[in-house]
Amino acid sequence: MNYININGKIISHDDARLSIDNGSFRYGYGLFETMLVRNSMIRLKKYHWDRLFSELKQLYFDIPALMTPEWLENEVIAVVKKNKLETLCRVRLQMFAAKGGLYDRESMMPEFIIECFPLQENILELNENGLVTGIAAGLNKSQDSLSNLKSCNALIYAIAAQQAKENKWNDALICNTAGNIIESTIANIFWINNEVVYTPPLSDGCIAGVMRRHVMERIAVIEKSLSVSELLLADEVFLTNAIKTIRWVGIFNEKQYRHDQVKKICDLL
């Protein structure tokens, strides 16, 4: 039996109940963190908590005094242990607005759900075969104050993922309204040219990924807008997220990439 944590109470997944007028269901009013837990430890936990609490304030949530990073970590590990997944698992922590409309919401205290899912050990290894990618068509992400948030409003990523499936790609790349590539459906993007590492700036509209931050704090990275022509001239390309760490891209628009530097970066991290 699988267990989840709803607002601090661990219950069977089958017994889970939420109000149908919660803000996440009706308006996408919420945030989520996807975390990797290994040996009962949350990887990059400081980055996750920094991002989550900053974004909660940005969305006008009232954060209870009890709800500290330490308290949330205990809630996460408790449900992980209840599911006997301490060795290795993926955790999804979702915070969302309580019931009510846009103007008559009963409370701005965040509610939350914590779920965990088993992972195979090879998830931590660099992929042997390069990812095949292409650009999602007809989807252009705006560059505004909400663009960097890991919000529950993820329709653009869901449709891009369907396009990837339809085209038999491993992932789809997403452009902003200026036509620059900013990320994939589940990851930030980096590229390497003449051994220099680049990534799009947050001002271009990409998610402020925790693994993106980790990479940029460990190696020299230049922030630069990424055009399609620039990507086609790159020597190497890789994607990052909190679960899969680094995945190297082997093909984009029939352009093939090597991964010599990507291997070194992966070993460093």
What is the arithmetic mean of pLDDT over 57-76?
Answer: 96
Same domain, residue pair 31 and 158: no
% pLDDT > 70, the chain? 97
Same domain, residue pair 98 and 145: no
pLDDT above 90: residue 25: no
Same domain, residue pair 62 and 141: no
Number of structural domains (the chain) is 2
Same domain, residue pair 112 and 164: no
DSSP state letter for 13: G
pLDDT above 80: residue 104: no
Q: Per-residue DSSP letters for 217-264? A: HHS--EE--B-HHHHHH-SEEEEEETTTEEEEEEEETTEE---HHHHH
The DSSP bridge pattern shows strands 188-193 and 236-241 to be: antiparallel
Write down the pLDDT at residue 130: 96
Rounded CA-CA distance 15/74 in Å is 22
Same domain, residue pair 135 and 248: yes
Write down the pLDDT at residue 1: 58
Same domain, residue pair 179 and 256: yes
Same domain, residue pair 53 and 86: yes
Write down the pLDDT at residue 230: 97
Same domain, residue pair 56 and 162: no
The domain in which residue 136 lies consists of: 131-268
Buried b (16+ CB within 10 A) or exposed e, 62-76: eeeeebeeeebbebb
Beta bridge partners of 96: 30, 111
User: Which of 82, 100, 121 marks a domain boundary?
Assistant: 121
pLDDT above 90: residue 101: no
DSSP state letter for 110: P
Q: pLDDT band for position 16 (50/70/90)?
A: confident
Rounded CA-CA distance 57/251 in Å is 39
Residue 109 belongs to a domain: yes
How many Cβ atoms sit within 10 Å of the Cβ of residue 21?
A: 15
Give the long-range contacts of residues 60-63, CB within 8 A, separation 24 or more: 60/108, 61/95, 61/97, 61/108, 61/109, 61/110, 62/107, 62/108, 62/109, 62/110, 63/110
Question: What's the pLDDT tens digit per position in 228-259?
Answer: 999 999 999 999 999 999 999 999 998 999 99
Same domain, residue pair 135 and 255: yes
Residue 126 belongs to a domain: no
The DSSP bridge pattern shows strands 196-199 and 222-223 to be: parallel
Secondary structure class of 83 (helix, strand, coil): coil
User: Which of 88, 121, 154 marks a domain boundary?
Assistant: 121
Same domain, residue pair 211 and 239: yes
Same domain, residue pair 259 and 143: yes
Question: What's the pLDDT tens digit per position in 195-223?
Answer: 999 999 999 999 999 999 999 999 999 99
Q: pLDDT band for position 105 (50/70/90)?
A: low
Query: In this structure, what CATH number is given to the domain that contains residue 115?
Result: 3.30.470.10
Write down the pLDDT at residue 103: 67
Secondary structure class of 139 (helix, strand, coil): strand
Same domain, residue pair 141 and 104: no
Q: Kindly report which listed range (91-100, 187-196, 209-218) carries the lowest average pLDDT score.
A: 91-100
